[in-house]
Structure 1
Amino acid sequence: MNNFITVNIVSISELLFSGNAKFVLLPAEFGDIGILPGHVPLISLIRTGMLKIICPDDSEHSIFVAGGILEVQPKEVTVLADTAVIATELDEVKIIEARKKAEEVLRNNKDRTDIASVEMELNMLAVQAKTVRKFGKARVY
């Protein structure tokens, strides 16, 4: 039996990862899922969080994902993400600026539709900030 699984991580705009892995951990709709070679077939929505890939050489790749679809087959994992960014490419300064703007909109806007949208954005920014602190280019002020 092959000890690896082929993994493809695709966002709307680009292919972020394509290669073999020993293990994949990702945020599925109802909780985190760990995937090993030979996993049973599965389709799930993806929630906002960190996707982690362990390669055959034990190197790790971390990718922030927000929304999308996961398909698992015994020899292949495909993630079609609405939003995906390699963890080390996240910029804490930009995240902080975006969070401040979103909080300002929340304070000044009473439209329920806008509020729900801004709250979703704030949730995504909170996960990105957590990702930066763990894997990305965190800056100390």
Structure 2
Amino acid sequence: MTTTIRCDIVSAEAEIFHGEATLIVATGEMGELGIAPRHAPLITRLKPGKVVITQANGEKLDFAISGGLLEVQPQVVTILADTAVRADEIDEAAVKKAKEEAERVLAGRGEAMEIAEAQQKLAEVTAQLQALERLRKNLKH
């Protein structure tokens, strides 16, 4: 029998995922984290990036988050994301358009607030594009 840990991914808008996992991989402030059952308790900030959940049946689910917090407790891993989306629900055309807009603002070196917002948006859409690319690679295999 495979040991699992419950994983919840929630954002301000909705609960994104609730289920059992054998491994959770997320991008923390200091690099990638791998959380398996019986992991030591932990709280850390998450950078914009991907979250990959390996389920008990071996299936991997990919999510793109815009940042947030990860909390590991003995029975549950909770990811509180600013925004989160499943890779298979990403609108590639909208994401590419948002990326181009963010890059345009950064290239023009607008207001300081605009630049900070554009940098955040660029990190978010880059994470979404990476999650989409990983999903495509998994579908090819």
Interval of TM-score (by shorter of Structure 1 and Structure 2): 0.7 to 0.9
Q: Distance in 2 between matches of 1:51 and 1:15?
A: 15
After TM superposition, the structure 1 stretch with the greater mean CA deviation from structure 2, 101-110 or 73-82, is: 101-110
Measured after TM superposition, the shift of residue 100 of structure 1 is 2.0
Q: Is the 8 A contact 1:47 1:68 kept in 2?
A: yes
Mean alpha-carbon deviation: is it higher for 53-62 or for 120-129? 120-129
| Deviation string, structure 1 residues 94-138 (Cα, Å, up to 9, x no partner) | 1111122223333445312211221221122222222222216xx
Per the alignment, residue 102 of structure 1 pairs with 102
Structure 1 gap ranges (5+)? 137-141
Higher mean C-alpha deviation, range 58-67 or range 35-44: 58-67
Contact 1:91 1:132 in 2 (8 A): no
Higher helix share: 2
Secondary structure of the corresponding residue to residue 97 of structure 1: helix
Q: Which residue of 2 aligns with 1:63?
A: 63
Residue in 1 that maps onto 2:139:
none
* TM-score, normalisation: structure 1: 0.87
> How many pairs are equivalent?
136
Q: Percent identity?
A: 35
TM-score, scaled to structure 2: 0.87
Shift in Å at residue 44 of structure 1?
0.5
1:75-111 CA distance string (max 9 Å, x none) = 2101110010001111211111112222333344531
Structure 2 alignment gaps of length 5 or more: 137-141
